[in-house]
Amino acid sequence: MSSNCALILAAGEGTRMKSSKPKVLAEVLFTPMIDLIIRAAKEGGVDNICVVTGHQSEIVEEHLGGKYRTVKQEKRLGTGHAVMQAKEFIKEHLHENILILTGDCPLMDSATVKAAYEAHVTHRNAVTVISAKVDNPFGYGRIIRAKDGKFKRIAEEKEATQAEKIINEVNSGAYWFSCSVLLDALEGIVAMHDKKKLPNVEYYLTDAIEVIIDKGLTAMAYEADSPNVVLGVNDRIQLMEVNEIARKEVLFKNMLNGVSIPSMDGVVISPDAKIGRDTVILPGTIVKGTTVIGENCTIGPYSIVEDSVIEDGVTLNNVHCYSSTIRKNAKIGPYVRIRPNCDIGEGVKAGNFVEFKNTKIGSHTSVAHLTYIGDADFGSNINVGCGCATANYNGKEKFRTKVDDNAFLGCSTYLVAPVNVGKNCYTAAGSVITEDVPDNSLAIARSRQVVKKNWIIKKKPYKWQK
Amino acid sequence: MSSNCALILAAGEGTRMKSSKPKVLAEVLFTPMIDLIIRAAKEGGVDNICVVTGHQSEIVEEHLGGKYRTVKQEKRLGTGHAVMQAKEFIKEHLHENILILTGDCPLMDSATVKAAYEAHVTHRNAVTVISAKVDNPFGYGRIIRAKDGKFKRIAEEKEATQAEKIINEVNSGAYWFSCSVLLDALEGIVAMHDKKKLPNVEYYLTDAIEVIIDKGLTAMAYEADSPNVVLGVNDRIQLMEVNEIARKEVLFKNMLNGVSIPSMDGVVISPDAKIGRDTVILPGTIVKGTTVIGENCTIGPYSIVEDSVIEDGVTLNNVHCYSSTIRKNAKIGPYVRIRPNCDIGEGVKAGNFVEFKNTKIGSHTSVAHLTYIGDADFGSNINVGCGCATANYNGKEKFRTKVDDNAFLGCSTYLVAPVNVGKNCYTAAGSVITEDVPDNSLAIARSRQVVKKNWIIKKKPYKWQK
Amino acid sequence: MSSNCALILAAGEGTRMKSSKPKVLAEVLFTPMIDLIIRAAKEGGVDNICVVTGHQSEIVEEHLGGKYRTVKQEKRLGTGHAVMQAKEFIKEHLHENILILTGDCPLMDSATVKAAYEAHVTHRNAVTVISAKVDNPFGYGRIIRAKDGKFKRIAEEKEATQAEKIINEVNSGAYWFSCSVLLDALEGIVAMHDKKKLPNVEYYLTDAIEVIIDKGLTAMAYEADSPNVVLGVNDRIQLMEVNEIARKEVLFKNMLNGVSIPSMDGVVISPDAKIGRDTVILPGTIVKGTTVIGENCTIGPYSIVEDSVIEDGVTLNNVHCYSSTIRKNAKIGPYVRIRPNCDIGEGVKAGNFVEFKNTKIGSHTSVAHLTYIGDADFGSNINVGCGCATANYNGKEKFRTKVDDNAFLGCSTYLVAPVNVGKNCYTAAGSVITEDVPDNSLAIARSRQVVKKNWIIKKKPYKWQK
């Protein structure tokens, strides 16, 4: 794609969102809308991006983190006025084309951006309006075409005739402009505003199209495949609807790729996740970020997997897993939390009420119940009894624990880090291990049992005894 | 609103519910239908309420707990007959108007009740029928109007002509009557029944309207805004449908108020809950009772919050929380249960597999994993290690535990109540604390570790060893 | 029903499933499609079943486990060709009728099979096509009838005229044939194929119908009640849709039987489960296998119950329960896992983060929190403190633990099996019990507490201390 640029309009207040945050940071599939728009532009082939901020510009700029140029629209005087703020940016790209996107239409996609660009350059358009056909066009600018199908103009809701109102091809608010034409047209918008003697000082970008057509330049409307590209988010019901459309689109794509999702209830999958064939995703499972899941896994119900690698044949039943790797055929759950930086070995079984953190667990080790292992390196074929834990923190620092292959940790073994348990070792139930245990040894740290006979009869400690 | 009264018809058996309980106790959004109806009447401005019970009247009366007058309809001989049972009640309010509601139409709302009352008194109606337009009028009584729109009569399904059957304005079964007119009309119903020589002894309240119109008095149909007011619950599919309508209505209301609900799957919010702006409610979250949630919280996925106060900035991920207060910026979950009467301080972190009961936790205390704290007062900045618990019950009585600020409880510390741990104290991992620990002290209660070298080689305790 | 047989076509590859498994093993409500089809045939009254395998025949045959006869279709040359492979089977049943079902239409049901058979024998048909009326007939073979309603022929999508294309009665691909007629017709298909000079060597079973009609024999189309019987599964979106239809059908059936399901989100109930009146199933609950649930239970939210018996009045809140019995009025959850072969007694309370395995718990025993009981026999009225466990495994063998009635296990009691705790016994908090405790005794196995005063001031172990 030849050189070009994009302008993203992200100045709006979004009053109906009833938010203390800028509207463009509202999330769709856990991603702020502005990021989705920027991605559509970038994956659509645009390198230079400028964002027009306005309402709470400092928050938007902080979010962008200096990665994109910004200009501020001090007063919100319409989309045309927003574009005017970026005059310098447009001038710098005078011989290019510019993509204009609105920051609150999060379902605009890169394929549409690219295809519209193709149409734009192929037909040497001065401007290409991205349009779409929708079920209910109310409120949108209608695309008015001549009998031969050629784009004529946009009729806004309030100025549309009855005949125009039933037209269901509408303006998405996204455009490709020739930069030089756009610059000229911005002047024209002001002149047109003055001529029309409009009551409010508001400049609309759609007027630029009128200006361009008046000059006899080529304007075209490119109809996108999906009606969703026009969907704007103005309140949180619309935000939910857009989330639901985006959610189902990703789920359908995964199903067609060979992933079984018997019910979509509560299932959310990131568009960046990759999931292998014959894997089953059960209800209530949320897959976030750049997670990669292999084939023949069963994920869910009610699991969260974020930025993790899950190899083939893994079961995650009611598991929360963050930034970790789970190797082949591991069976995890229910009620297990895997915190960042874990590497859980092949064939590991981790049962209920178990937590791992910053830990490596070797293959075929079993951690069946009520156990916490943090900051630790566990070998293979270890059996961890019920109610064990690493005591990795002493109030000041965190230390690591090491347990070697084939060890057997009796129930309620507490390993006070830093400490090493050698190969084949055995710890007695109820032991607090504070010193290293050499290979092949038994470690025991508990008191002998004492029985006081008939103590109950003398003491009667129960309320239900007479 | 001038003085008036209401009669709620709650005698029906509801055979198709296949229940051993009275139908009017079936729940919509976790609230018995009869309570929703009573609330619509009360919030609609009615003070004196009488409930007509019948089938399993003792259970309904027990549920009402003596708060409302009741009359019993011994035999179920129709809605007109049901109203006749309340003659004494109507007589006592002779110069008032009476609202009649059916106990199995749970979506009748106070705004409709009020607006219909306004119409009733403004037009000095003898009776005002509450109607609504529905998509499918089959089975309902149709509202027949004259050409000028004036209400003429109600045509029941079986007596409606083909032309009448396509009318989609229907009778909700709710009415405002002048009490004196109603009393007269009840006599008229009986006469009409006898005149019509109906085969069954059943008296219909709709006949009262015919009687009133025959007398030349003013009858009017007030059309409600929502079609849902007419929805009756006769089986559990309808109960589910009504629940879903009510559920979505509350969710939409919250979204418009600034609450983000990216997917509604499994989300149920009580109509009495209050949720602040920019709070996100994730799938599977149930908010019950009079819960108040602040701004910028993240609640869910898969949390239950009932009758609790959640301050701003709180995270509740997979948490069950009942009748408690969670203060600012606390991060709780996943897999945490907070039982009644807890006060969890600002900035507290409570991690996985943790339970609190009847306990106060000071600010910035951390309870990361596998711990139970019950009947306790914990100060601020305490670090509770993994696998700790308060032993608050001795078989006879429950006692409290107190831990002061800045304490560090080592892993697997058990506090046997009543016991106090002072400021800055430290308990060694694996200690059972049975006596008070003064400020700044270390408490330790465990055996020294003993290592038996090469024990494994001698004993061969593992099945996988040769 | 007189003697008859069935042939199930299960040879297809199902490329669009993108699976490494045969399509007929894809699951609907957790049951492979082939099993659902076999069940429809068997419950429809058919005893002798033959399955035509093809793609990955060995996996299908392994799944069938030798319970049904199979023939292999080496090359996939159409449905007619598939049936030809079973010639021997058909010959053996020469004087019977044969039901032909396709393995990827999982919603074909036994009632339809039976009713079609009734029509087939009553009208002495040579063939009876099972049809259904659908909303969108595109892609299906249309049922062409004469003006008098008599079945004439099937028009496939590509050969259908415009007028035929709008016909919405379609072929399900399921048929009843007279075996002898079918055998003859199979010859006819080949002849017809040769006559038509079709480019590919593919033989269609629908051509058999043409052959039969050409011979002047009686062919009939039996219209099924439900459009779902025609739904085929060719990709995983269709698999999801069929799952959702099947899921809701079971939920509606349960609701009509008196089960409350206020929201269907995430609720999946096995068609083989039985649930009593007034039981409430909350969101996210999965009931699998042949589970039986009593009356007045509350199951969910977010529970899994498989192959278990749940008696009346039980609460299972966020519980996973497999192959176990839970007796009357037990209150279990949240966050409890009951593994196979448990018997949980009447009125038992089991609280959060508790696991049972292969264990009997007597009535009214309380296991409130953070406890694992495995391979054990617990009596009645026992109080198990927080953080207890049975140590049932020593690395080589598993042993049982026995605790008798009225015992009180202090917090963090570990019972090292094999071990017995007698009646009314008491164990001190933090004790590891390795030897039997006689009735009425106190067992204690822990160190005395030592306090080191001002240790904190000397050692300064905390990072937040100066």
Q: How confident is the model at residue A195 (pLDDT cuts 50, 70, 90)?
A: confident
- Domains, in order of start, for chain B: 5-230 (3.90.550.10), 259-443 (2.160.10.10)
Measured distance CA(C172)–CA(C213) in Å, rounded: 19
- Residues of chain A positioned with their CB less than 8 A from the CB of C381: 464
pLDDT tens-digit series, residues C287-308 = 999 999 999 999 999 999 999 9
Q: Which residues of C does the annotation mark as catalytic?
A: 369
- Residues of chain C positioned with their CB less than 8 A from the CB of B447: 447
End-to-end Cα spacing for chain C: 90
The token pair at C66 is 């030798």
Nearest to A172 by CA among A91, A79, A253, A87: A79
Which ipTM score applies to this complex? 0.95
The token pair at C230 is 């025609």
Three-state SS across chain B? Answer: CCCEEEEEEECCCCHHHCCCCCHHHCEECCEEHHHHHHHHHHHCCCCEEEEEEECEHHHHHHHHCCCCEEEECCCCCCHHHHHHCCHHHHHHCCCCEEEEEECCCCCCCHHHHHHHHHHHHHCCCCEEEEEEECCCCCCCCEEEECCCCCEEEEECHHHCCHHHHCCCEEEEEEEEEEHHHHHHHHHHHHHHHHHHCCCCCCCCHHHHHHHHHHCCCCEEEEECCCHHHHCCCCCHHHHHHHHHHHHHHHHHHHHHCCCECCCCCCCEECCCCEECCCCEECCCCEEECCCEECCCCEECCCCEEECCEECCCCEECCEEEECCEECCCCEECCCEEECCCCEECCCCEEEEEEEEECCEECCCCEEEEEEEEECEEECCCCEECCCCEEECECCCCECCEEECCCCEECCCCEEECCEEECCCCEECCCCEECCCECCCCEEECCCCCEEECCHHHHHCCCCCCC
Which residues in chain B show pLDDT less than 50? 1, 466
Best of A265, A304, A317 to mutate (most C CBs within 10 Å, chain C): A265
pLDDT tens-digit series, residues C321-366 = 999 999 999 999 999 999 999 999 999 999 999 999 999 999 999 9
Best of B451, B453, B455 to mutate (most A CBs within 10 Å, chain A): B451
- Residues of chain B positioned with their CB less than 8 A from the CB of A18: 256-258, 277
Neighbours of B142 (CB within 10 A): 24
Between CA C201 and CA C204, with CA C202 as vertex, the angle to 5 degrees is: 150
CA distance B390 to chain C (A): 8
**Cβ pair A165, A142 in contact under 8 A:** yes
**Cβ pair B265, A261 in contact under 8 A:** no
Select the residue of A28, A391, A426 nearest B410 (Cβ to Cβ).
A391
**Cβ pair B16, B235 in contact under 8 A:** yes
Neighbours of B162 (CB within 10 A): 6
pLDDT tens-digit series, residues B79-138 = 999 999 999 999 999 999 999 999 999 999 999 999 999 999 999 999 999 999 999 999
pLDDT at A2: 56
CA distance A392 to chain B (A): 9
Beta-bridge mates of residue C322: C306
- Mean predicted lDDT score pLDDT of chain C: 95
Nearest to B33 by CA among B24, B42, B41: B24
Calculate mean pLDDT across residues C140-149.
Answer: 95
CA distance C261 to chain B (A): 6
- Residues of chain B positioned with their CB less than 8 A from the CB of A463: 395-397
Q: Per the CB < 8 Å rule, is A240 touching B258?
A: no
- Residues of chain B positioned with their CB less than 8 A from the CB of C268: none
The token pair at A458 is 């003398």
CA distance B310 to chain A (A): 19
A1: pLDDT strictly greater than 70: no
Task: Give this prediction's pTM.
Answer: 0.95
The token pair at A380 is 């293979």
String of DSSP letters for A30-78: TEEHHHHHHHHHHHTT--EEEEEEBTBHHHHHHHHTTSSEEEE-SS---
pLDDT at B11: 95
Nearest to C316 by CA among C339, C333, C295: C333
Measured distance CA(C464)–CA(B380) in Å, rounded: 12
Best of B249, B251, B252, B255 to mutate (most A CBs within 10 Å, chain A): B255
pLDDT at C466: 43
Measured distance CA(B255)–CA(B279) in Å, rounded: 10
Locate tokens 């299972």: which residue? Answer: C316
The token pair at B424 is 């800055």
Q: Per the CB < 8 Å rule, is B286 touching C264?
A: no
Calculate mean pLDDT across residues C402-417.
Answer: 97
Beta-bridge mates of residue C421: C403, C437
**Which backbone phi and psi does B186 adopt, to 5 degrees?**
-60, -40
- Residues of chain A positioned with their CB less than 8 A from the CB of B397: 463
**Which backbone phi and psi does C153 adopt, to 5 degrees?**
-170, 175
**Cβ pair B324, B344 in contact under 8 A:** yes
CA distance C395 to chain A (A): 7
Q: Per the CB < 8 Å rule, is B395 touching A463?
A: yes
pLDDT at C327: 98
Q: Any residues with CB less than 8 A from the CB of C240 and at least 6 apart, and which?
A: A255, A260, A261, A262, A263, A264
pLDDT at B466: 43
Q: How confident is the model at residue C193 (pLDDT cuts 50, 70, 90)?
A: confident
Percent with pLDDT over 90 in chain C: 89
For A44-189, list the strands marked E by DSSP: 48-53, 69-72, 97-102, 127-133, 142-145, 151-155, 169-178
A17: pLDDT strictly greater than 50: yes
Calculate mean pLDDT across residues A380-387.
Answer: 97
Q: Per the CB < 8 Å rule, is A455 touching C441?
A: yes
Select the residue of B335, B370, B454 nearest A440 (Cβ to Cβ).
B454
pLDDT at B3: 73
pLDDT at A15: 95
Locate tokens 């011994």: which residue? Answer: B74
Amino acid at A398: K
**Cβ pair B317, B333 in contact under 8 A:** yes
Q: Is A81 part of the annotated catalytic residue set?
A: no
Measured distance CA(A102)–CA(A54) in Å, rounded: 13
Peptide bond into C271 cis (omega under 30): no
Q: Which of A1-5, A16-20, A95-99, A157-161 has the lowest mean pLDDT?
A: A1-5
Higher-pLDDT residue of A323, A189? A323
pLDDT tens-digit series, residues A103-117 = 999 999 999 999 999
- Mean predicted lDDT score pLDDT of chain B: 95
